[in-house]
Amino acid sequence: MKKNMKKITALHKYIGIAVCIILIHLAVTGIFLNHTQDLDLDKHYVTSSWILDQYGLKVPQPDLVYAIQNDNFSQYGVEIFFNGSPVIQIEKNLLGVVWHNGQYILATESHLLLMNQEGTLQKTIDLLPFSIQKIGMHDSGLVLQDKQGRLWSATSVLTDWKETPLKSVSWSSAGSLTSINKKRIHRYFVGDGVSLEQVILDFHSGAIFKQAGKLFFDITGLLLIILSLSGLLLWSSKRKR
């Protein structure tokens, strides 16, 4: 009997330590939540990648990025962003961007999209006699390369295309987002982040850990039951003495 009581005493002690840690966690987070307004927890935001992942807030990687000086055109699925804002949707990949005659010209396999300096679509040209593979600039103007490797140039209004033997074309190539545009796009996808109040509340309830959080508090409940029962047994054994 004494041997069994020693085991129960040890079990009671270790479970008590575990429960104490859990209660400290609940007490600390509870105190913060009780002073949400005093601490302005709803006005502070968390942008940690791990925290954002728990809420399903992710910034996707761009499929393509083109840079012209400090401006960026980037593609996320069907969405085309100009710097930090979506400006148009296209079904095909963006193949390049050039600056020509005071406007941006974006190329897809079958379209040319003309945009002003603010990224507003001005015109779409889709009646091309070939499929585009590249877009670039030459001293003589805009140049396109088709899928057969032939080069084409056009009049200033981009309507009359003719094959050309031009060389030394400066082709549009993939670039990278500027730091400020990275921040703009990050803000577009995740906003300010998650309020500190919400994070503490979900840590308090375990909701931030989803199913693991529910299981954790189920185990905590079982530990409290075992702690209570072992405590009663120990109290009862002492009374019998």
Helices 196-205 & 2-34 angle (0-180, nearest 10): 160
- Give the side-chain half-sphere CA count within 13 A for 37: 0
Number of other CB atoms surrounding residue 104 within 10 Å:
23
Q: Confidence class of residue 241 from pLDDT cuts 50, 70 and 90?
A: low
- Report how far apart, in Å, the C-alpha atoms of 220 and of each of 19, 186, 233 are: 7, 38, 20
Average pLDDT on 4-26 reads 76
**What span, in angstroms and rounded, lies between the C-alpha atoms of 75 and 97?**
12
pLDDT on residue 212: 77
pLDDT on residue 69: 85
Instruction: Render pLDDT for 71-107 as a digit per residue (tens, 0 to 9).
Output: 999 999 999 999 989 999 998 899 999 998 889 999 9
Q: Where in the chain are the domains?
A: 2-46+200-240, 64-190
Instruction: Render pLDDT for 178-215 as a digit per residue (tens, 0 to 9).
Output: 999 999 999 999 988 899 999 999 888 888 777 777 78
Q: Say if residue 132's pLDDT is above 80.
A: yes
CATH number of 64-190: 2.40.128
* pTM passes above 0.75: no
Q: Say if residue 125's pLDDT is above 80.
A: yes
